[in-house]
Structure 1
Amino acid sequence: MSTTPTLLCLNAGSASLKFALFDQRDCRGPTLPNALLRGEIDSHDDQATLRWTYARGGLHRSASPDPRGDLAAEIDSLLDTLILPGGFGPVAAVAHRIVHGGSAFTSAQRLTPAVRAALDALRSLAPLHQGPGLAGVDAATGRLPAVPQIACFDTAFHATQTEPSRRYAIPRHWHDRGYKRYGFHGLSYDAITHRLPPLLGARAQGAVVVAHLGGGASLCGLRGLRSVSTTMGFTALDGLMMSTRSGAIDPGLVLHWITEDGLDARQVTAMLYHDSGLKGVSGLSGDLRTLEASPAAQADEAIALFVASVVHHIGALAADLRGLDALVFTGGIGTHSARVRQAVCDALAWLGVSLDPLANAAGQACITHGDSRVPAYALPTDEEGVMALQAARLLG
């Protein structure tokens, strides 16, 4: 049994629970650390599957007949079957991905009762994520009460944006009360900034658009490896079409549903968060894997609309950045769907993206031709690695 302290990272998303365990000594440098253990409990059309790998390699898998979503039970199982009996060192801290930090939290924080209460008050701003993230905190605290719990925020990465980039055209007093654009997926974008310099050299400091495409989807425009513009706003509902979320729509449509069709706030919320996006357009599923395998015309229509949404917003971010020096795909769809990447890159040929179909189909890191004016990459993100770095810095 090792005596070297470890950092456990828990990343509770809207469709999965990802986890990773790190040697604390490896989390003190500027580069992303290698995990001792990494995996996720994924939901594919409500079927729960646990997958994990060790640093030495080898994929392990365990299926469950139960639908996923009981985080307390999943964290108990994770601790009891993999972490505590695995021969690893004692857990020095548990880092949690918390989607919304509001205006108050722009760096990692120890989870005191006061911090926990403040984050709970933000639950309505990220209803698919804030609750699961805090449920993970409560479950881990219950099992490891003496171990520090640390919150790492998705919104914090976008705190570098200028004030005009974060403002809505609403009365000033509402902005002053915190009604502004926050942006999300910051841990993922932070991870990509660690990967870009070795790939792009000096070009990494230029205009880069990162497409985090998964169950939740957004884009971020980077300059100098810092967030300049992003597609999500006050909540994680804005911007791109997503798995079950609508993305940007005319606010007048929401008003019409309420005033003319008699829907209440609860019904509209359920529709826009849970019944729209790929799921709503296809009428089949919000899982892109299911839609890509389907022969149904409405599945193709949903995928085409998703691609159009991504292309439209990449163009908008390129305008914000005054150019485009590189494009990066990440997230579950971004790294695994050659079809989506090809459709997006083909639509951006006018912008200088020259796709290499063979490299794209093979899942290579660089998916464009060597002479492409704008290189494009498909890179795995590592939110847990960023969380480990932030937790180690906070622990000192």
Structure 2
Amino acid sequence: MNRAIVVFNAGSTSLKFAAYAVEAGGALSMLCVGRIDSMQGDPHFVVKNAAGKPWDAHEWGEGHAIDHRTALPFIIAWLEANLAGTKVVAAGHRVVLGGTRFEAPVRIEGDVLDYLDSLAAMEPSHQPFNVHGARAFAEAFPGLPQVACFDTSFHRTMPEVAQTYAVPQDVRDAGVRHWGYHGISYDYISRQVPKFAPAARRVIVAHLGGGASMCAMLDGKSVETTMGFAGVSGLPMATRSGDVPPGALFYLLRRKLFDDATLEKMLYERSGLLGLSGISGDMRVLQESADPRAVAAIESFVYAMTKYAGAYATVLGGLDAFVFTAGIGENSVPLRAALCGKLAWLGVKLDAQANTSGGPRISTPDSGVSVWVIPTNEELMIAQHTLALI
């Protein structure tokens, strides 16, 4: 019987998964990846094989809402029916926030889920759904071990001064601090950088996708990151605002243009590249558009990255390597070129041909800072942590 680990990322109306075979010696190899979308309206399941080719699909029918208690057993049953001789032995879950209690991945047992649920008010767009998925799995498969991996854990190596906001102690005690996110991705990239640039100690990584952030690393450890208390601050993103002055938000509330719920929805769903352009939050759409608003939105994104890169180079005391990762970072040739041009003062010299071909190295041999395109793999990182804890 072959053993498999399944990784889940539970959202409000979606459930993403990836399955990995546990090979001899503890190596992991991908079996398939898939998702169930539109769970509350028109749920449909799709899965691809390890090569990325479509494998199977299923639809429940429009108006046939399902929840995680239905979706999770369906996925496990499909896996064990379609992967001959394979038995799921554990599940790993992406959970955005581990709080002060969990600074590393943890087995889900005892009061772990109750504690994680208590943090939902800090990051309501992801945390409650991540926890709900883990609860549903525990109810359906009480005998299978589960592991929670946190986006915040990687950033707990930031110096205390970088984690602390200048607010009173009672406010800090309530959980207001610089948490940082995308940590699972940064954890993975930190382990890949030595394979490409073994001498690089001072590294900036740009995780650029629908959600976007940057992280300054020293010797593979996080020392600063752009996302702060919640996943809405830092860089402008597809539909999330990035940094907005608190005074502007107080103003909108005083004017009664928003209440707390509609203000949060505006900042998370109507802002960022979408808000700036009025066209789309998709970088691909904006780069194909000649509309001046699309051009301005991209320029704003590059400006924010330039500003943070300069600050982080100062925090690090210099810069040895810069890494692009995630959907935009791995695929947008013009965006990488634009940022590298802004960082020429740091010694960055772009190899245009290498950039067009996607790297992995996209800087010239004599560049003062080596620049790389390294694909991230959050699912594999979660699977590895899960295997280590079961």
TM score, norm. by length of structure 1: 0.88
* TM-aligned CA distance change 1:382 to 1:42, over 3 Å: farther
Q: Does the 8 Å CA contact 1:99/1:133 hold for their aligned counterparts?
A: yes
Q: Distance in 2 between matches of 1:71 and 1:320?
A: 45
The one-letter amino acid paired with 1:182 is W
Give the equivalent residue in structure 1 for 2:2: 4
* TM-aligned CA distance change 1:332 to 1:49, over 3 Å: farther
Aligned-residue offset at 1:82: 4.2
Per the alignment, in what secondary structure is the counterpart of residue 201 of structure 1?
A: coil
Aligned-residue offset at 1:124: 2.2
Per the alignment, in what secondary structure is the counterpart of residue 150 of structure 1?
A: strand
Counterpart among 74, 96, 101 of residue 99 in structure 1: 96
The one-letter amino acid paired with 1:22 is Y
Counterpart among 10, 21, 24 of residue 22 in structure 2: 24
Which sits farther off after the overlay, 318-327 or 80-89?
80-89
Give the equivalent residue in structure 2 for 1:188: 185
Give the equivalent residue in structure 2 for 1:201: 198
Write out aligned runs for 1:89-128 (5 A). Answer: 89-112=86-109, 114-128=111-125
Q: Distance in 1 between matches of 2:18 and 2:249?
A: 40
Give the equivalent residue in structure 1 for 2:145: 148
Are 2:163 and 1:166 aligned? yes
Aligned-residue offset at 1:225: 0.5
Q: Distance in 2 between matches of 1:309 and 1:234?
A: 18
Are 2:265 and 1:275 aligned? no
Q: Distance in 2 between matches of 1:95 and 1:340?
A: 33
Aligned-residue offset at 1:4: 2.5
Are 2:56 and 1:59 aligned? no
Aligned-residue offset at 1:263: 2.3
Are 2:336 and 1:341 aligned? yes
Q: Does the 8 Å CA contact 2:22/2:29 hold for their aligned counterparts?
A: no
Give the equivalent residue in structure 2 for 1:325: 320
Per the alignment, in what secondary structure is the counterpart of residue 216 of structure 2?
A: strand
* TM-aligned CA distance change 1:84 to 1:292, over 3 Å: farther
Q: Does the 8 Å CA contact 2:23/2:29 hold for their aligned counterparts?
A: no
Count of equivalent residues: 383
Q: Distance in 1 between matches of 2:227 and 2:367?
A: 29
Q: Distance in 1 between matches of 2:37 and 2:199?
A: 37
CA RMSD, aligned part only? Answer: 2.8
Q: Distance in 2 between matches of 1:336 and 1:47?
A: 29
The one-letter amino acid paired with 1:104 is R
Q: Does the 8 Å CA contact 2:286/2:295 hold for their aligned counterparts?
A: yes
Per the alignment, in what secondary structure is the counterpart of residue 116 of structure 2?
A: helix
Write out aligned runs for 1:334-373 (5 A). Answer: 334-373=329-368
The one-letter amino acid paired with 2:17 is F
* TM-aligned CA distance change 1:223 to 1:393, over 3 Å: same
Aligned-residue offset at 1:62: 6.4
Aligned-residue offset at 1:305: 1.1
Q: Does the 8 Å CA contact 2:146/2:386 hold for their aligned counterparts?
A: no
Aligned-residue offset at 1:148: 1.7
The one-letter amino acid paired with 2:115 is A
Q: Distance in 2 between matches of 1:380 and 1:66?
A: 36
The one-letter amino acid paired with 1:302 is A
Which sits farther off after the overlay, 292-301 or 157-166?
292-301
Aligned-residue offset at 1:332: 1.2
Give the equivalent residue in structure 1 for 2:245: 250
Q: Distance in 1 between matches of 2:45 and 2:368?
A: 41
Give the equivalent residue in structure 2 for 1:228: 223
Q: Note the residue ranges of structure 2 that are not aligned, 5 or more in a row.
A: none
Q: Distance in 2 between matches of 1:330 and 1:92?
A: 31
Identify the structure with bigger relative contact order (alpha carbons < 8 Å, sequence gap 6+). Answer: 1
* TM-aligned CA distance change 1:371 to 1:83, over 3 Å: farther
Deviations 1:48-99 (A, max 9, x none): 8845232xx35226687979x9663654554344454222521111000000
Counterpart among 303, 306, 310 of residue 311 in structure 1: 306
Q: Distance in 1 between matches of 2:220 and 2:23?
A: 26
Give the equivalent residue in structure 2 for 1:36: 31
The one-letter amino acid paired with 1:215 is G
Q: Distance in 2 between matches of 1:187 and 1:280?
A: 28
